[in-house]
Structure 1
Amino acid sequence: MSIDWAALGQVFGVSLIATVGLVGVFTLGIVGHATRGAAGGGPTALARTGAYACYALCLAAVAFGIYIIAA
């Protein structure tokens, strides 16, 4: 039994980049909801829309991962 170290390194690298990217996008969504508008109220419509887009991207990435695992 031999280990293909190059393939293992590629899997590690892609997993690391995907994880950091997904956490970063989710963090942008949280920041978008946490921002305050000019009047001091809740987030502006643009920030809220951006936050929802970040959440949708995270949901799509998780759904794609489940699809890959199940296929």
Structure 2
Amino acid sequence: MHIDWAALGQVFGVSLVVTVGLVGIFTLGIVGTSPRTGGSADSGTGAGTGTLARSGAYVCFALCAAAVGYGIYLIVA
């Protein structure tokens, strides 16, 4: 039995990077959809900031869904 340790290391490294990246993107999505609390009225943030954050959060969720869909495609194909 021969184990290709270099290929195993590559799979481990890519899996680690993709997992950490996907969790990070999902976390940004959660933060973008969380309600803002504790700010003062004159903090300088406009009404468009919440809309921009929510739109960015939806983009993060779409990227996560695309990555999961691609992973399922790779498994099935």
TM-score, normalised relative to structure 2: 0.82
Q: Percent identity?
A: 71
Moved over 6 A (4+): none
Greater relative contact order: 1 or 2 (C-alpha under 8 angstroms, separation 6 or more)? Answer: 2
User: Shift in Å at residue 35 of structure 1?
Assistant: 4.5
Aligned to 2:26: 26
- Kept in 2, the 8 Å contact 1:25–1:58? The answer is yes
CA displacement 1:28-56 (0-9 Å, x = unmatched): 000001142876xxx71101000000000
Pairing 1:52-63 to 2, within 5 Å after superposition:
52-63=58-69
Aligned to 1:5: 5
- Kept in 2, the 8 Å contact 1:28–1:54? The answer is yes
Q: Secondary structure at the match of 2:13?
A: helix
Q: 2:72 aligns with which of 54, 66, 70?
A: 66
CA distance in 1: counterparts of 2:2 and 2:33, whole angstroms: 49
Aligned to 2:50: 44
**What runs of 5+ residues in structure 2 fail to find an aligned partner?**
42-48
CA RMSD of aligned residues (A): 1.8
Deviates more, 1:29-38 or 1:58-67: 29-38
| Residues paired across the two proteins, number | 68
